[in-house]
Every structure is written in structure tokens, then in C-alpha cells.
Copies of this chain bind each other. A is one copy, B any other.
Amino acid sequence: MTAAGRWNTLQTNRQQRLQRAAVVLGNDLQGKLLPQQRIGDCLHAVLEAGDRVCLEGNNQKQADFLAKALTRLDATRVHDLHMLLSVLALPEHLDVFDKGIASKLDFSFSGPQAARLAKLASAGKLNIGAIHTYLELYARYFVDLTPRVALVAAQSADRAGNLYTGPNTEDTPTIVEATAFKSGIVIAQVNEIVDVLPRVDIPAGWVDFVVQAPTPHYIEPLFTRDPALISEIQVLMAMMAIKGIYAEYEVKRLNHGIGFDTAAIELLLPTYAASLGLKGKIASHWALNPHPALIPAIEAGFVESVHSFGSELGMEDYIRARPDVFFVGADGSMRSNRALSQAAGHYACDMFIGSTLQIDLQGNSSTATLGRIAGFGGAPNMGADARGRRHASPAWLKAGREARAGSKQIPRGQKLVVQMVETFREHMQPAFVEKLDAWQLAEQAKMAIPPVMIYGDDVTHILTEEGIANLLLCRSEEEREQAIRGVAGYTPVGLARDKRMVENLRDRGIIKRAEDLGIDKRLATRDLLAAKNMKDLVRASGGLYQPPKRFRNW
């Protein structure tokens, strides 16, 4: 073999694929543009059995037309694809396994498809490489999981093939960079082809084929929480979070999870937090999707900056009108970026606060339950102590001091990682358990270790309606266990507490009840919410926020 032939097999193979496509598509291929009805031919020409294929299935934006086209391929020609997806969101994402087109999967999150994924896995129809946190999956795209072909989605393309993503930039730049710069093939579906793009998000030189989809790509409004569904228990917990954690640690830079618990906090910033004099002192800088529930806090001047992983349906005009807060381009619309926002969540935030389904006696938590292989998305990355971090902030230093007080360890800061749960979740399932379901799931699905979302030694606080357990201050495994039992309410775990020890922990400030924080529970009513329903959010936005139909309940 010649030296040249030995070292450019990827480039040569890329040329062969492009050549095959050119032959098959003939005059239907205009530069990089092909008609939608030829997408199957294009994929048949370009794909090879065993290819690693990154299909843009994001938290929100979906390359749904390309996903569907994949499912229609001839499995005798294209098979054993190794699929890479951030999020398994659509049925098509699993159909390719059912149909024998794909056989291996690496991913991050599969919320809507978790049960079917588990079934397909146990039927031997698909082999799961691993479950990742988002940034970890992208990292592997540059090391040992580089895509051979990437199928992505954008808002529009010009005739040269430049792409405009609009606010849902999300994973596209990262996927395309990994693929295009290792001699791979990039195919983009777009909603429209235009003469002049509002801005260029992906240069044409990084893209091989562009196809206009018959319908605009699907976007999931994943971060919209109707304030009408927030309970008074959640208001109480939000008050405890604000007074007992945000104010206590002066948390300015943070990320919130996706649930109603944290939506309640967002809605209490301009009311309860403001009444405590906390405006300007907490929650000013965010790594966060544009949560509609944050609108009242933004309007009240609580929020200086928000960098987003993706966008949120209906928030486009509001974001465009608030460029001091969001990251928008010269064209006026947002550019999100999940890779960079996850880096921001990991390294530039002092706190992650989110919810979970189960917490064990060591504080390990997981949303993995039997019969469902769900993955954890961004939570493991943001809910882990960033041990590479070197810059100080009051929150980080205080958490580090509390964890190391009395030890001979060298001083170091620590990230605040808060798990916020009601002691019982839906159907009266206890949130606190002796042993996580993750253990059984690991056995069922033959995983090397149980799928834990956030490890106990990264969790600093557990917050329930019964109070806050500050795990930073615990000095032994036993104290830690009792601190957890001490906020676990009437769950079996909570009932089995050592009452004397729990009272001792309370005396030492390791457990704090609402009353210890000076919070009058009678004030914990929905009246504290800055918006009580979707209409209030629209009103707060000055009519700029336009909720998707399913949330228009007035």
C-alpha cells in the first residue's frame, strides 16, 4: 500500500460516498441541495453498513425528517449502524433498531422512549454502548466515537449550503465539527432554503448535503411549566431553598433542573426573595434554557445573564427583545450551544439544583427505574463537584470550608449540589429508599455498575418539605444517613430515623426545619408566585411570550 493510501482511507472513502451520491442523484443534486423525495437514495448511496451515524436528536430540536428517512432504508443494504444520539425522543429513533437497520446505540437521555428502549435491549435488538452525560458524549465524538455520517437539523440554508439554526442551535455545531473534520459526511435537513440567511451558524464548507424537509423540524417545549400546577408544598420548599441555601451561600451563578420545584423558586424570586432584600445578591447569572417561569424574575431585574443549552418554543420574541440578558446574534435571535452551556454549568456555576426519583441512604440518587433505561442528560455533569475548577466565589469557598472544617485536608472549594424532592412522589412512591432500583436495573440490563444520576459524595444538600439536610457538615457515614432520614418524612426511611441523633443534627444546624429558618409556613401559599398561570407569564412578558397551543389553557 502506498504511504498516501495508508493514511487517507477516510478521505478516500468519503470521496467514494460523495461520488456514489452524485451518480445516483444526477441532476437532482444542485450543488449541495437535493429534493426531499431523493433523500432515501442519498442515504443509500452515502451510508455503509456498520457506520457510526450521529442523528440529531436533541433535548428539543429533532432532525425528524432524516430520522424517518433512515427508518425507510433497505436493511439488506444498510444495517448494523451504530447510532449516536443525545436524546432518544422520537419513535423513529428506535424503529431503526426494530427494522434491523441499526444495532448499536450510544446516547445520553431517552425519557420518552425509555421503556421501549429497555424492551428492545432485552430482546437483543440493540446493544447499548453506554449512557453518557451530554458533554461526555460530545467529548467522545472527538476521541473514540467520531461520527462517520451526521444527520442534523437547521432552520434554513442558503444555496451554498450555509446553515442558520435560529435559537435552537443546540448540538448542531459540535456534531458537525466532529464529523466534518474527520472526513465524515454531513447531511442537514432545513425548514426552508433562502437567498440570504439572517446569520451563518454553520459554514457551508462543513456541510455536504442540504434537503428541505416537508414540514418544519419538530421542537419539544421541554422547559415550560404551567404555574397553575405548582402546589403550596412546592412554594414552601422554594422558600426554604431561597432562605436556607441561596441566601446562605450567596449563590449568584447557577443552573436549575426542569421540574416544578425549581419553577417555584424562579417564580418566588421577584416576590419572596425580593422581600428578603436578595435582589442583586442571588441568582443573577444562569446556565439555563429560557424557562418561561423565569420571565417575572427577568422583568424584575433579578437576572443579568442567561446562556442556554437550547431554546424554548414560544420564547423567541421575548428573547429577541431582551438581548441584554440572553445570547443573541446580530440578527436578533438567540444562539444556544449545548456543549458550551454544559461547560458553563460545570465550571462557571456555583450550584446545581434539581429533582430526582429516588435517593438512598448515602445520598446517591437516580431517575432510573425498573423496565426503563432513561439516561440522565446534563444532570451528572452539572450535579458533580467540578474538581478541575480553580476560581473562587463566596458560595464555593463556604461549601468547601463546611466540608473540610476540622480536617487536615488542603483547603478547597466545592460546588453546591442540591436535590429537591417531596418525600413521596406520584402514586405515593417514597423518594427515599434503602436501595436504588438502579441496582436491579444494572443487573437486568447487564451494566457494569448501577446507573446513578448524582453520587452521594457530590450531593451537598437534600431539601424536602420536612427541611434541609446539609450533608457538607456531616462528619461520618452514620451522621450522613441520619441527616437524610431526618428529612425523609413519613417514608419508611424517614420513620426509621434515630430520633435522638436527628435532634442532635438539628441542634448543630445540619438539619434545618422551616421554623429553624424563620419561615412562617402559613405564608407558603400560591399568592407568593409571581405568576399563577400561563396567562400571567404572557402578561409578565408584555405579550412577547407565546406559549405553544397545549399550554394555552385560558
> What's the minimum C-beta distance from A554 to chain B, rounded to whole angstroms?
23
Contact B181 A327, beta carbon cutoff 8 Å = yes
Q: Report chain B residues within 8 Å CB of A347.
A: 133, 135-136, 139-140
Chain B CB within 8 A of A144 CB: yes
Verify if A24 is at the interface (C-beta below 8 Å from B): no
A143 touches B285 (CB 8 A): yes
Q: How far is the CB of A44 from chain B (nearest CB, A)?
A: 23
Residue of B nearest to A286 (CB): B143
A524 to chain B minimum Cβ distance, whole angstroms, is 31
Kindly list chain B residues whose C-beta atoms are within 8 Å of the C-beta of A7.
321-325
CB–CB B323/A10 < 8 A: yes
**Is the CB of A432 closer than 8 A to any CB of chain B?**
no
A391 to B128, CA, bound (A): 11
Q: Which residues of B contact A483 (CB under 8 A)?
A: none
A484-499 interface code vs B (CB 8 A; 1 in, 0 out): 0000000000000000
| Any B CB within 8 A of the CB of A131 | yes
A211 CB within 8 Å of chain B: no
Q: How large is the interface on A (under 10, 10 to 19, 20 to 34, 35 or more residues)?
A: 35 or more
Per the 8 Å Cβ criterion, residues 331-347 of A in contact with B are 331, 334-335, 337, 339-341, 343-344, 346-347
A390 x B307 contact (CB < 8 A): no
Given the known A-B contacts A11-B323, A343-B339, are A144 and B328 also in contact in the complex, defined by CB atoms under 8 Å? Answer: no
A129 interface residue, CB < 8 Å from B? yes
A181-B135 CB under 8 A given contacts A10-B323, A143-B305, A362-B410: no
CB distance from A401 to the nearest CB of B (A): 10
- Tell me which residues across on chain B come within 8 A of A477, comparing CB atoms: 408
Partner of A183, one of B323, B341, B456: B323
Which residues of chain A from 295 to 352 have any CB-CB distance to chain B below 8 Å in the complex?
305, 307, 321-325, 327-331, 334-335, 337, 339-341, 343-344, 346-349
CA distance A339 to B174 in the complex (A): 11
A341-377: CB near B (< 8 Å → 1, else 0) gives: 1011011110000000000101010000000000010
Query: Is there contact, CB below 8 Å, between B388 and A340?
Result: no
Encode A453-468 as 1/0 by CB contact (under 8 A) with B: 0011110000000000
Which of B200, B203, B389, B455 is in CB contact (< 8 Å) with A410? B455
Q: Is A409 an interface residue (CB 8 A)?
A: yes
Q: Is there an interface contact between A200 and B203, defined as CB atoms closer than 8 Å?
A: yes
Assuming the contacts A412-B452, A450-B410, asked whether A133 and B389 have C-beta atoms less than 8 A apart, the reply is yes
Q: List chain B residues, Cβ under 8 A from A143.
A: 253, 285-287, 305, 307, 344, 348-349
Q: How far is the CB of A383 from chain B (nearest CB, A)?
A: 8
Chain A, range 423-464, C-beta contacts under 8 Å to B? 447-452, 455-458
With A4-B321, A323-B10 as contacts: A390 and B131 at CB distance below 8 Å: yes
> How far does the alpha carbon of A337 sit from the alpha carbon of B340 in the complex, in Å?
12
Tell me, in angstroms, the Cα distance from A198 to B130 when the chains sit together.
37
| A146 at interface, CB cutoff 8 A | yes
- A360 to B408 alpha-carbon distance, docked (Å): 13
Q: Indicate whether A139 sits within 8 Å of B346 (C-beta atoms), given known contacts A182-B327, A397-B449.
A: yes
Q: Could you list 19 examples of A-B contacts with CB < 8 Å?
A: A7-B323, A8-B324, A130-B390, A136-B386, A143-B349, A144-B348, A177-B337, A178-B340, A199-B206, A205-B330, A339-B339, A346-B388, A380-B387, A383-B388, A384-B386, A385-B387, A392-B447, A410-B452, A412-B449
Nearest first, the 5 closest Cβ-Cβ pairs linking A and B are A130-B391, A139-B347, A200-B203, A384-B387, A381-B388
- Known pairs A346-B388, A362-B409 / 5 extra A-B pairs, C-beta < 8 Å: A8-B321, A133-B389, A139-B348, A140-B391, A381-B388
